[in-house]
Amino acid sequence: MVEWIIEASMRLFSEQGYTATTTNKIAELAGVSVGSLYHYFPNKDAILLELGIRHRKNMYREIIKTLKNDSGFDLRHVLKEIIAKIIRLHRDNLLFIEALTLHTHIDKLLDSMDHDYDLKFWSTVGNIIKRKYLQPGMDVSQESLRQTWIVLGKTGKDVIHNIAMENSFGPDEKIIDGLVDAILTYMYKQPAVP
């Protein structure tokens, strides 16, 4: 039943937007009573939060899949591919992303939640990058890799959301190159000597 509610919510948020979607419409499309919907989700914000969590997990899966399945490309190329995929995922669910972006309290709550899958993601990404992309003798700490992805997640998220929603920053390729430059610069930056 939860899946029906989630699927109906995503469809309605994506087609009508968050504001125009009511819990009654969600329940009707899901084929459940409004009471059943409220049994699982106390309000529309809780549904949006759950969709945000699932959206993040989906992005994580795509990032890991891309890192694991590259065809011998360098890290720069793979990072560009990852960012392009993330932009496509956002464009495919534009009204949902807009709802998440406009309801900053949900977006902030999502960012502040500490999930085991976040920790597993950082660790997996770090291990793949170290194993597949770092040249012999190069070392990047796990913490540096985690912080690099946080930079992408926090700063890059706003840029990616704007590219997906408005495409107001010019050609995607230039923006993607800029994000990759920032990621690589941050990742390889050596700690300051005290």
139: Cβ contacts below 8 Å, ≥ 6 apart: none
Angle between the 172-188 and 75-92 helix axes, to the nearest 10 degrees? 130
CA angle 86, 91, 97 (to 5 degrees): 90
SS (H, E, C) 21-75: CCHHHHHHHHCCCHHHHHHHCCCHHHHHHHHHHHHHHHHHHHHHHHHHHCCCCCH
Closest CA to 79 of 187, 1, 3: 187
Q: What is the pLDDT of residues 4-48, one digit of tens each?
A: 999 999 889 888 888 899 999 999 999 999 999 999 999 998 998
Q: What is the pLDDT of residues 134-187, one digit of tens each?
A: 766 666 666 776 677 666 666 666 677 667 666 555 557 777 888 888 878 777
> 85 versus 162: which is more confidently predicted?
85
For residue 2, the model assigns a pLDDT of 93
* pLDDT band at residue 61 under the 50/70/90 scheme: confident
